[in-house]
Amino acid sequence: MTDFEDMLSEDDSALASSFDHAPLRLTVDLGAMADNWRDMAKRSGKARAAAVVKADAYGLGIEDAGQTFYRAGARDFFVATVSEGVTLRPYVPQARIFVLSGVWPGQEADVIGSDLVPVLASEEQLSHWTAVCAQGGEHPCALQVDTGFNRLGLTVDDALYLADDPCRPASFDPVLVLSHLACGDTPSAAMNRVQLESFQKVAAAYEGVESSLSASAGIFLGPEYHFDLTRPGIALYGGEAVNDAPNPMRPVATAEARIVMIREAGEGQTVSYGGTYQLKRASRLAIAAVGYADGYQRSLSGSGIPLREMGRGGAYGFVNGHKVPVAGRVTMDLTIFDVTDVPANAVRAGDYIELFGRNVPLDEVARSAGTIGYELLTSMGLRYERLVLEQA
């Protein structure tokens, strides 16, 4: 019996049966997710920890993630869009939900009806929202300030001016002022201190209003960066938050692909499109039911792409206790793994190769693709059969 089966209840049996035979499957461990939130809440010290659940909770399911974090104690949530906030609301009934993209004409009813807090990031949004509140009554908002990222937010000078403006609309009454670090995942970056000092001025100008600067990476920079509210995201889902440092978070997602067939190929033969991967010995190849249509990116290929030509190693999977490298190019629906070093009686068609999870760290796979764990999680396609492991 597998570890996954041990954790299933009788009510899950039908789902488990479907899961057991799916070409692609994704296991989401809500217990690990909750533990990761509690870990980040502890690291946040005196600050409260929110939960960032945008992009369908980084691809893992906003409904399940929202409930999980809410039960663990989170009372502040961040989404990217109004529609995400509307979806989340029933699962976090007493929480504040901040919408990072703010509000635009036509979205007011959803914002107010679902009691969302728009994060105003421009003069246009500020003007629109104050007019809405002046006409329809007060409703909370937040203000985003750009401290060096050059993305969303008022400039520091404009935010400071607004704080002291005697003509500031009475309907503008933010409950939170926030900014975002550009280099938080690199603790030695001088930019972190520059942004911190800029944001300290803004936070001081908005006396009595809560402030927030740090997402996952910023939390690891220490108490000076925590302010009143932190915004952990990728760390909650098991991803690395800080470059070149051990990852203390528990893995949450495990992706697996079923082996469709195993074939034998001779020395000197080539593998996959372009014939760029030439076998140096007689080999056994496992053909797995996953490809770039499923978010297993072409850049993970074992050969025939610029990253491999630059000397960077390709991805590997894990099957029955063995690491197995990707052979040749990843294709739309199929990927070939070299299982020559796995004993013949230890791997067969129908077995599953772990793509990332407990044995293949998410961010190691991401580095092989020349990207980050965020992108792998949020790029998974619709063909994964999902199994959600409930909290113990």
**Whether 225 and 159 share a structural domain:** yes
Number of domains present in the structure of the chain: 2
Enter the pTM of the model. Answer: 0.93
Binding residues for substrate: 151, 332
**Whether 59 and 142 share a structural domain:** yes
Instruction: For residues 327 and 58, give the distance between their C-alpha atoms in angstroms, rounded to a whole number.
Output: 28
| CA-to-CA dists, residue 201 to 145, 208, 218, angstroms | 11, 14, 18
Q: Please return the burial class of 250, using the count of CB atoms within 10 Å of its CB with bins 0-12, 13-18 and 19+.
A: middle
Q: Which residues are catalytic?
A: 54, 273
* Dihedral of alpha carbons 364, 366, 367, 369, sign: positive
Domain end residue (candidates: 169, 203, 237)? 237
**Whether 158 and 289 share a structural domain:** no
Domain end residue (candidates: 208, 237, 266)? 237
Binding residues: 151, 332
**Whether 212 and 267 share a structural domain:** no
CB of 147 closer than 8 Å to CB of 225: no
Beta strands in 186-328 (DSSP E): 210-212, 229-230, 253-265, 270-271, 277-278, 283-288, 316-319, 322-325
More reliable by pLDDT, 254 or 2? 254
pLDDT at 167: 82
Instruction: For residues 388 and 385, give the distance between their C-alpha atoms in angstroms, rounded to a whole number.
Output: 10
CB of 359 closer than 8 Å to CB of 347: no
CB of 341 closer than 8 Å to CB of 351: no
For position 335, which CATH number holds? 2.40.37.10
pLDDT at 25: 97
* Dihedral, 240, 213, 61, 367 alpha carbons, nearest 10: -20
Structural domain range at position 117 = 44-237
**Whether 48 and 187 share a structural domain:** yes
Q: Which DSSP state fits 223?
A: G
Q: Is 21 domain-assigned? A: no
Instruction: For residues 391 and 344, give the distance between their C-alpha atoms in angstroms, rounded to a whole number.
Output: 37
**Whether 179 and 280 share a structural domain:** no
Instruction: For residues 135 and 211, give the distance between their C-alpha atoms in angstroms, rounded to a whole number.
Output: 27
pLDDT at 1: 40
Q: Is 12 domain-assigned? A: no
Domain end residue (candidates: 187, 212, 237)? 237
Residue 2 has pLDDT above 60, yes or no: no
pLDDT at 5: 47
Q: Is 135 domain-assigned? A: yes
Instruction: For residues 205 and 123, give the distance between their C-alpha atoms in angstroms, rounded to a whole number.
Output: 18
Residue holding tokens 């990332």? 356
CB of 142 closer than 8 Å to CB of 176: yes
**Whether 214 and 341 share a structural domain:** no
pLDDT at 166: 84
Per-residue pLDDT of 179-224, as tens digits, reads 999 999 999 999 999 999 999 999 999 999 999 999 999 999 999 9
**Whether 212 and 85 share a structural domain:** yes
Q: Is 107 domain-assigned? A: yes
Q: Is 16 domain-assigned? A: no
Average pLDDT, integer, range 258-276: 97
**Whether 196 and 305 share a structural domain:** no
Instruction: For residues 203 and 21, give the distance between their C-alpha atoms in angstroms, rounded to a whole number.
Output: 54
CB of 69 closer than 8 Å to CB of 33: yes
The SS3 of residue 380 is: coil
Q: What is the DSSP string of 136-187?
A: H-----EEEEESSS-SSSEEHHHHHHHHH-TT--TT---SEEE---SSTTST
Read off the pLDDT band of 391 (50, 70, 90): confident
**Whether 53 and 190 share a structural domain:** yes
Structure tokens at 244: 């070149």
**Whether 231 and 261 share a structural domain:** no
Per-residue pLDDT of 96-147, as tens digits, reads 999 999 999 999 999 999 999 999 999 999 999 999 998 888 899 999 999 9
Closest CA to 174 of 283, 64, 98: 98
Per-residue pLDDT of 62-80, as tens digits, reads 999 999 999 999 999 999 9
Residue 357 has pLDDT above 90, yes or no: yes
Average pLDDT, integer, range 168-179: 90
Instruction: For residues 191 and 367, give the distance between their C-alpha atoms in angstroms, rounded to a whole number.
Output: 24
Q: Is 356 domain-assigned? A: yes
Per-residue pLDDT of 286-342, as tens digits, reads 999 999 999 999 999 999 999 888 877 889 999 999 999 999 999 999 999 999 999
The SS3 of residue 153 is: coil
**Whether 233 and 271 share a structural domain:** no
Q: Please return the burial class of 215, using the count of CB atoms within 10 Å of its CB with bins 0-12, 13-18 and 19+.
A: buried
Residue 7 has pLDDT above 80, yes or no: no
CB of 98 closer than 8 Å to CB of 77: yes
Instruction: For residues 115 and 105, give the distance between their C-alpha atoms in angstroms, rounded to a whole number.
Output: 16
For position 217, which CATH number holds? 3.20.20.10
Q: Is 22 domain-assigned? A: no
pLDDT at 6: 53
DSSP lists the bridge partners of residue 239 as none
Closest CA to 249 of 260, 238, 261: 238
Q: Is 37 domain-assigned? A: no
Instruction: For residues 138 and 44, give the distance between their C-alpha atoms in angstroms, rounded to a whole number.
Output: 31
